[in-house]
């Protein structure tokens, strides 16, 4: 989305994209507490993560668990933190609830599905393009094609509606998704800034979506007992001083990782030189989970997942890039 | 509000108003579980509570604790359940949070203040008309006049904003209140159908407010990481099958009552014949807490609270009526 210019106030070019990375600490500022040279870490950055060396405030850096690989670490932070905060901070996911997630095959969608499985008896409805169903059907309770009338299908299973709907910025589903909510249910519109849209869909930009998204009358929410929320992790981190909230979510997520309850889904690894092909794969909606940019890799894609093929009108997908297994330098994800 | 006709689809007249009451069970249907003739109970009704005898489904009936008086019971259910569900179900009130409540002198506002005091270190900002400040200042942390620039005053104390804003249907504060929210904060628009407006304010109706209330763009919520919710207890109970959710809230509230952590605030008791004067008192925004209609009382108001005087532009107030101390009949509130 940054590359496409589909954001408000895009930074001036030339710029280095990327908001998350992992790697090894090369140096620390004076008086830095808690980190030493040589520590294996994950970090958020406000741009510049697709680089061989990065610098970021200590508030955005987290130690990697000993048994986490760089490939996993590169795919961990942004998606799991976003999924966790939406499910447990914005909504209050509890036992027996139901969750509908758009873009179930994306990296946030897969993180949502895994986090839902940590709570007993949660029903997950995944919406995804047909060609992803085989790969992701085991991660959700029910799966529907986004091009079918999934609203009716979900209502057949849950006549009262669902408790939580997670929808990435797509500009057309707000009303439909709101209609699926139970009383006291929560609709969350989220979007990592790294969302891109397939060229096979009609052109979509953030500015356009602002006008297309149906505005909501608070009195309608009052009459229907519904909750609508927006969630932008990058804004929370870099514009709204939310690093302590995020740190607390990361602590809980690392504990879930260590209990082997969650595991990042990696689509494929790419060399920095292959960034164009990696972006194309996301554009074509071919990926299941994260694409990682590995600064030490030589150009030949290693598919972590051979399940899907290219272009078809599909979901809004993340554009997750990162890098992996750098032994000497701080690698960078996004 | 019902009396004023300011609701959607008002029922046909003649009608008996009132949505809650307390009293003694006179008879039960065959196979009714859990209640016996003679039980002291509180109940919700979909109209008809201002009567000497009422009939309501068992799902809407709750046993009164032994040490609860009928006066307290008449003022308990609607306000505490609404306040509880907003604070703990819609939002997730936790330690150290801050809450701003409009109409802090109203019955829901007073219930909100009491429930906030059950959670450690919660800061409560109350907005109320000046003439109520003396009576309610001890129930909140800070109090502001609704006619002053309270937004700036609150921001002086909480520069980052507040976690929860509770606003009853007033049609003018949505944007102001949203601007006061912290990232991940929740704005809740609520309204018991019993809200009335003072004649001293410009005329306001529900239909009018529908158009006046500022519509919210979900993308703005996304950019600002904010949550907006609507809450209507009556719709939840009578249109949306929420009796189990309400039962669960009542169980927790009765436990808090028994621990003496909450206590309903009663403004005054009135005979059924005095309903006109009681309504006028609410219209004039004179009340702090609930007005109770007592079917056994003879006409002469007994002020439970002599703190306030009449007419002044003020908050949207509840119109809570009920009855009290009926020894033989099921009495009815509001």
Which CATH number belongs to the domain containing residue B29 in this structure? 3.40.50.720
Q: How big is the A-B interface in CB pairs under 8 Å?
A: 143
Range of lowest pLDDT (A8-22, A279-293, B293-307): B293-307
pLDDT score of A290: 87
Identify each DSSP E strand in chain B by its residue range: 20-24, 40-44, 61-63, 98-101, 123-128, 142-145, 162-168, 181-190, 227-231, 266-271, 290-294, 302-303
**Contact present, B292 and B318 (Cβ < 8 Å):** no
pLDDT score of B255: 97
pLDDT in tens, B198-245: 333 333 445 455 556 678 888 889 999 999 999 999 999 999 999 999
pLDDT score of B302: 56
pLDDT, average across residues A8-19: 79
Q: Calculate how close chain A gets to B178, using CA atoms only, in Å.
A: 11
CB within 8 Å of chain A, chain B residues 82-101:
85, 89-90, 92
B302-303 and A266-271 beta bridge pairing:
unpaired
Percentages (nearest 5) of helix, strand, coil residues in chain B: 30, 20, 50
B45 pLDDT band, cuts 50/70/90, is very high
Is the pTM value of this prediction over 0.80? yes
Q: What's the burial of B35, exposed, middle or buried (CB within 10 Å: 0-12/13-18/19+)?
A: middle
Q: How many domains does chain B have?
A: 1
pLDDT over 60 at B308, yes or no? no
Contacts of B189 in chain A (CB under 8 A): 218-219, 221-222
Name the nearest CA neighbour of A196 among A44, A51, A320. Answer: A320
**Contact present, A17 and A3 (Cβ < 8 Å):** yes
Residue B307 lies inside a defined structural domain of this protein: no
Residue A241 lies inside a defined structural domain of this protein: yes
Best of B92, B211, B222 to substitute, by most chain A Cβ atoms within 10 angstroms, is B222
User: What is the pLDDT of chain A when averaged over all its residues?
Assistant: 82
Question: CB neighbours (10 Å) of residue A4?
Answer: 17
Question: CB neighbours (10 Å) of residue B87?
Answer: 25
Q: Calculate how close chain A gets to B88, using CA atoms only, in Å.
A: 10
Contacts of A210 in chain B (CB under 8 A): 217, 219
Sheet-wide strand order for B61-63: B20-24, B40-44, B61-63
* 3-state class (DSSP) for residue B132: helix
B105 pLDDT band, cuts 50/70/90, is confident
Structure tokens at B201: 């304010």
pLDDT score of A107: 87
- Look at A256 and A298; give whichever has higher pLDDT: A256
Residue A308 lies inside a defined structural domain of this protein: no
Q: Calculate how close chain A gets to B315, using CA atoms only, in Å.
A: 18
pLDDT score of A204: 42
Whether A243 contacts chain B with CB within 8 A: no
Residue B321 lies inside a defined structural domain of this protein: no
- Look at A305 and B323; give whichever has higher pLDDT: A305
A322 pLDDT band, cuts 50/70/90, is very low
pLDDT in tens, A22-46: 999 999 999 999 999 999 999 999 9
pLDDT score of A327: 35
pLDDT in tens, B147-186: 888 999 999 999 999 999 999 865 556 778 888 999 999 9
pLDDT, average across residues B248-266: 96
* 3-state class (DSSP) for residue A189: strand
pLDDT in tens, A191-222: 743 344 433 333 344 545 555 667 888 888 99
- Look at A94 and B12; give whichever has higher pLDDT: A94
Residue B309 lies inside a defined structural domain of this protein: no
Residue B152 lies inside a defined structural domain of this protein: yes
* Cβ contact A240–B225 (<8 Å): yes
Give the C-alpha distances (Å, rounded to integers) separating B307 from A105, A298, B127, B134, B190.
61, 79, 17, 8, 26
What's the N-to-C CA distance of chain A in angstroms? 12
Residue A326 lies inside a defined structural domain of this protein: no
Picking from A8, A215, A225, the nearest residue to B232 by CB comes out as: A225
Q: Calculate how close chain B gets to A44, using CA atoms only, in Å.
A: 18
Residue A96 lies inside a defined structural domain of this protein: yes
pLDDT in tens, A45-65: 999 998 889 999 999 999 999
Q: Calculate how close chain A gets to B76, using CA atoms only, in Å.
A: 21
Domain that holds residue B8: 2-293
**Contact present, A12 and A47 (Cβ < 8 Å):** no
Whether B19 contacts chain A with CB within 8 A: no
Chain mean position to CA B83: 7
Whole-number Å distance between alpha carbons of B91 and A92: 9
pLDDT score of B63: 97
**Contact present, A270 and A297 (Cβ < 8 Å):** yes
pLDDT score of B273: 87
A302-303 and A290-294 beta bridge pairing:
unpaired
Q: A57-90 as b/e, with b when 16 or more CB fall inside 10 Å?
A: eeebbbebeeebebbbbbbbbbbbbbbbbbbbbb
pLDDT in tens, A220-241: 899 999 999 999 999 999 999 9
* Cβ contact B183–A236 (<8 Å): yes
pLDDT over 80 at A168, yes or no? yes
**Contact present, B222 and B263 (Cβ < 8 Å):** no
Structure tokens at B184: 């991940």
ipTM of the complex: 0.84
Q: A303-334 as b/e, with b when 16 or more CB fall inside 10 Å?
A: ebeeebeeebebbbbbbbbbbbbbeebbbbbb
Whole-number Å distance between alpha carbons of B270 and B50: 12
Picking from A209, A225, A232, the nearest residue to B230 by CB comes out as: A225
pLDDT score of A202: 35
Structure tokens at A307: 């399940």
Name the nearest CA neighbour of B139 among B125, B159, B157, B160. Answer: B125
pLDDT over 70 at B197, yes or no? no
**Contact present, B226 and B219 (Cβ < 8 Å):** no
Name the nearest CA neighbour of A197 among A333, A108, A101, A318. Answer: A318
DSSP letter string, B182-213: EEEEEEEEE--TT-B--TTSPP--HHHHHHHS
pLDDT over 50 at B329, yes or no? no
* Cβ contact A189–B228 (<8 Å): no
Residue whose token pair is 């229907």: A224
Picking from B189, B214, B217, the nearest residue to A221 by CB comes out as: B189
Whole-number Å distance between alpha carbons of B271 and B294: 5
């Amino acid at each position: 989305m940054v590359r496409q210019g589909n954001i408000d106030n895009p930074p001036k070019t030339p710029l280095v994209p990327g908001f998350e990375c992992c790697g090894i600490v090369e140096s620390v500022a004076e008086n830095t507490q808690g980190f030493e040279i040589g520590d294996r870490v994950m970090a958020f950055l406000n741009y510049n993560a697709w680089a061989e060396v990065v610098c970021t405030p200590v508030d955005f850096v987290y130690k990697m668990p000993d048994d986490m690989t760089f490939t996993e670490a590169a795919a961990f932070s942004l998606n799991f933190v976003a999924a966790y905060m939406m499910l447990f901070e914005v909504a209050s996911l509890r036992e027996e609830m139901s969750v509908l997630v758009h873009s179930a095959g994306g990296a946030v969608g897969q993180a949502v599905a895994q986090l839902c499985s940590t709570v007993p008896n949660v029903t997950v409805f995944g919406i995804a393009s047909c060609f992803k169903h085989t790969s992701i059907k085991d991660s959700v309770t029910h799966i529907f094609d986004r091009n079918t009338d999934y609203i009716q299908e979900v209502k057949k299973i849950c006549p009262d509606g669902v408790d939580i709907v997670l929808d990435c910025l797509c500009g057309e589903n707000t009303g439909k998704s709101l209609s699926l909510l139970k009383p006291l249910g929560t609709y969350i519109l989220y979007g990592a800034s790294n969302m891109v849209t397939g060229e096979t869909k009609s052109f979509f930009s953030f500015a356009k979506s602002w006008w297309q998204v149906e505005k909501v009358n608070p009195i309608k929410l009052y009459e229907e007992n519904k909750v609508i929320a927006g969630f932008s992790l990058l804004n929370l981190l870099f514009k709204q001083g939310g690093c302590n909230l995020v740190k607390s979510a990361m602590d809980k997520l690392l504990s879930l990782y260590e209990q082997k309850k969650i595991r990042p889904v990696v689509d494929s690894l790419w060399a920095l030189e292959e960034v164009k092909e990696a972006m194309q794969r996301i554009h074509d909606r071919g990926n299941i989970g994260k694409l990682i940019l590995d600064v030490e890799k030589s150009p030949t894609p290693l598919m972590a997942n051979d399940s899907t093929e290219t272009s078809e009108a599909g979901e809004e997908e993340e554009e997750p890039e990162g890098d992996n297994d750098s032994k000497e330098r701080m690698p960078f994800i996004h």
